[in-house]
Structure 1
Amino acid sequence: MAIAAGTPAFKRSNRALFFGGFSSFALLYSVQPLMPLLAGQFALTPAQSSLALSVSTAALAVSLLLASALSDRVGRKPLMVAALAIAAALTLACAAAQNYGQLLLMRAALGFALGGMPAIAMAYLAEEIEPASLGWSMGLYISGSAFGGMAGRVLTSVLSDFWSWRVAMAALGAAGLLAAWEFWRSLPRSRNFRPVAGGWRALPDGLRLHLSDDGLPWLFALGFLFMGCMVSAYNYIGYRLLDAPFGLRQSTVGAISFLYLLGIFSSVWAGRLADRLGRRGVLWIMIFAMLGGLLLTLSDALPLILAGMALFTFGFFASHSIASSWVGRRAQAPQALASALYLFFYYLGSSVVGWLCGLLWAGAGWPGVVALLGGCLGCALLIALRLRHLAPLPSAMPMVVPRAAN
């Protein structure tokens, strides 16, 4: 039996997944505003300092596929709780890193641990929430991610400005442990989960099934492009605003992450709009919003740069909410693997495009970064327009299966 909107279980599941998304993104992206500080302390180039984030997202991308197969055997909730607790503990350990190599090793381990959260959360929602409310619930989960990404960045920026980056990481790790406890306390156990036979041996068959679908590979490509653009823009806008002619303080630059509040609104709004009007008719408009915001950041006027980042952020979270819920609606069993594939490409885009933008920053500055990201969004727009003509797949509705122990 699916969880219906307005029920106590619906409220508990949305609260838990909000906390889960909050903690995951806060722990993962808290290092982003610290990149200039790490570059100064460890004598790194911008591309090298970006590895503190890229190694985490690359490890996360690999771990997602493994975690999805494991969750199909052992259940959703235990793996998600373990992922959040281990990632928080590793963030505490990062505060004691003696050199950059140690920091990278622990950040990679953190990314690998977090593989037990994002795709499984999407699969949990697709299995447990009634189809008519899935877009809303997915939007709430992503809004928690947006809030976590904002809070993590702002907290580390302020604490590192007044104390040190080590104090910032320790504080965030402690907050992550509290979020893991609340997630464990609030999330209802799975009622529609059924273990998938075959375990790891079923992984190749699942990959072939999802990659041969007419729509899913294009949605996976959108995830790659969306996250590559989002992370790259926030990676290097900080360098731009710290340099002349702006010369802003570290805490002031970190405050740009308050724009993530727009994502909290836009992900829920876009999810509910897509539930009413259809994903095909909304997605391409949100990509245009991202592209328009990106072009505004080419201005030398700080208000226009901030307006551009605001529009870009609004469009990103709306686009991601639509695409990720579309995967949940279209995918057939094993659904956790479909979600994992989407997020595999999503975080792979973060690593690959983020690293390439580091090279372009060194040679062409912000205009070079914008040129690459604009090309990525142009490709995303073409894919979205193609998906407008994708035939619905009736069997892709989330499956309601007999109750099983979790």
Structure 2
Amino acid sequence: MTPADTGASTVVDAASAASVPDVPEAAESPESPEPPDSRMAPGGPGYRRMSLALFLAGVATFALLYSTQALLPLISGDLGGTAGDASWTVAAATGGLAVFVLPMSALSERFGRRTVMTASLAVAVTVGLLVPFAPSLPVLVALRAVQGAALAGLPASATAYLAEEVTPRALVTAIGLFVAGNSVGGMSGRIITGWVAQEWGWRVAVGVIGLVAVGCAVAFRMLLPAPTHFTAGSLRPRVLAGTVRDHLANPLLRRLYAIGALFMTVFGGVYTVIGYRLSEAPFSLPQGLIGSIFLVYLVGTVSSATAGRLVSRLGRRGTFYLGAGTTAAGLLLTLAPFLPLVLLGLVLITAGFFAGHAVASSAVGKTAQHGRAQAAALYQSAYYVGSSAGSTVGAVAFHSGGWASTVGVGLLAVLGVVAITVAGTLAARRRADDAPVGTLGLSR
């Protein structure tokens, strides 16, 4: 992505062409063709294996990360505590990921993306098999924090792997497929846990998710092609700190980080609290049906996988506006006391969130010219801080003021997305106005 894509601009000096000295006719000869791009592309060797491997990694990541989210009412009843207390089983996992994603990205710069992703999944699934045996809520929260920290090695490394191994034109689609795996994992994990927990309790439910994740992890390692464009970096703290400073000094990256965090604040808050709302009057749904509500994640699978087409039509900023508007409309619909309207609202929230997330995460990979793992890690850190904040604040808002308060928190986050995108649009226009005559126009 060019810096203009979500708010900055790229200026190409046309006068530079005139400064190239003339070449005598005798020396003129047809230019030798550029070597073909050896990176993976749709239809090319390894692309399908890579797509399936990272899709399965996304499934395992989200299934494990949010394995307790649909079970919070049952966990509250079994281990004690309020909705806010139980929400820490989600917030601890996403918070652990947010804290450790940057250090894990540094390890991937040194030891390789595939190595770190494999190790992360191995530790996370091992902890996942221990979670069902947690004797108390504090122990469960601690195990979930460790699990989130282990998973931190996967999202940033996956984004960096794709940025290095996939052709630029296919990058948005490739990351969209990875994000689609996230949505499938989040959906299937919640549906499975909902129905299993209804029959055998929440402990058996999270144990089943752990076994599913084991299968995904094994398949991932067998399928993912070895990287061919990775260059090992340094683990020196000074080098890492300098790379992080460079990324944080980039106004475009800062905007993308904030947009990812705010979108995830909405999503985390809504899906952490929705189980409590649907289990109460006027809906009073059983646990199995509450888990099935997460079938709407299929909408996220479609919207994230088609994000590239949205960008080609609307531009990245236009897609952010569309995602924010769709999410806001969904939030307002969920205020209705009728289940069909609530479901439609969840569909719109899910579609808007996944489209915005897929575009923002791919934009980070294309914007960063060095230290891509750190750039992606900063995005993931902001993203999961948003998830932790949304889970906790949304649950506290629900406990104090009901569902309307949770919706209010979400609408404030959506307004933040719009405000940041507007600021990027205005900055791009200012740069366009200041550009010298003869330069190329802004991309979208």
TM-score, normalising length: structure 2: 0.86
Match status 1:341 vs 2:378:
yes
Instruction: State which of 135, 144, 156 in structure 1 corresponds to 2:172.
Output: 135
3-state DSSP class of the match of 1:15? helix
* CA deviation string 1:277-316 (max 9, x = no partner): 5312222111100111111101111111110111110111
Counterpart position of 2:280: 243
State the alpha-carbon separation in 1 of the partners of residues 189 and 405 from structure 2: 28
CA contact (8 A) 1:157 1:251 kept: yes
Counterpart position of 1:286: 323
Instruction: State which of 122, 144, 166 in structure 1 corresponds to 2:159.
Output: 122
Counterpart position of 2:22: none
Match status 1:44 vs 2:85:
no
Shift of 1:8: 2.6
Counterpart position of 1:88: 125
Deviates more, 1:198-207 or 1:304-313: 198-207
Counterpart position of 1:398: none
Shift of 1:209: 0.2
Shift of 1:197: 2.8
Alpha-carbon RMSD across the aligned residues, in angstroms, is: 1.4
Instruction: State which of 249, 253, 257 in structure 2 corresponds to 1:212.
Output: 249
Counterpart position of 1:107: 144
Shift of 1:275: 4.5
State the alpha-carbon separation in 2 of the partners of residues 388 and 159 from structure 1: 48
Instruction: State which of 67, 86, 98 in structure 2 corresponds to 1:30.
Output: 67
State the alpha-carbon separation in 2 of the partners of residues 174 and 136 from structure 1: 29
CA contact (8 A) 2:319 2:355 kept: no
CA contact (8 A) 1:85 1:180 kept: yes
Match status 1:224 vs 2:261:
yes
Instruction: State which of 48, 53, 66 in structure 1 corresponds to 2:90.
Output: 53
Counterpart position of 1:401: none
CA contact (8 A) 1:160 1:166 kept: yes
Counterpart position of 2:24: none
Gap change, CA 1:153 and 1:295, over 3 Å in 2: same
TM-score, normalising length: structure 1: 0.94
Q: Which amino acid aligns with 1:97?
A: A
State the alpha-carbon separation in 1 of the partners of residues 329 and 348 from structure 2: 7
State the alpha-carbon separation in 2 of the partners of residues 3 and 51 from structure 1: 40
State the alpha-carbon separation in 1 of the partners of residues 70 and 102 from structure 2: 28
CA contact (8 A) 1:69 1:199 kept: no
Larger Rg: 2
Counterpart position of 1:400: none
Shift of 1:386: 2.6
State the alpha-carbon separation in 2 of the partners of residues 21 and 272 from structure 1: 21
The correspondence of residues 131-280 of structure 1 with structure 2, limited to 5 A, is 131-275=168-312, 277-280=314-317
Shift of 1:318: 0.6
Counterpart position of 2:336: 299
CA contact (8 A) 2:56 2:181 kept: yes
Any unmatched runs of 5+ in structure 2?
A: 1-37, 432-444
3-state DSSP class of the match of 1:116? coil
Gap change, CA 1:257 and 1:335, over 3 Å in 2: same
* CA deviation string 1:341-394 (max 9, x = no partner): 00101001111232112221111100111111101101111112233355599x
CA contact (8 A) 2:180 2:301 kept: yes
Any unmatched runs of 5+ in structure 1?
A: 394-406
Identity of aligned residues (%): 40
Q: Which amino acid aligns with 1:174?
A: L
State the alpha-carbon separation in 1 of the partners of residues 229 and 428 from structure 2: 27
Counterpart position of 1:317: 354
Q: Which amino acid aligns with 1:331?
A: A
State the alpha-carbon separation in 1 of the partners of residues 415 and 99 from structure 2: 27
Q: Which amino acid aligns with 2:94?
A: T
Counterpart position of 1:403: none
State the alpha-carbon separation in 1 of the partners of residues 398 and 265 from structure 2: 15
CA contact (8 A) 1:132 1:275 kept: no
Deviates more, 1:1-10 or 1:132-141: 1-10
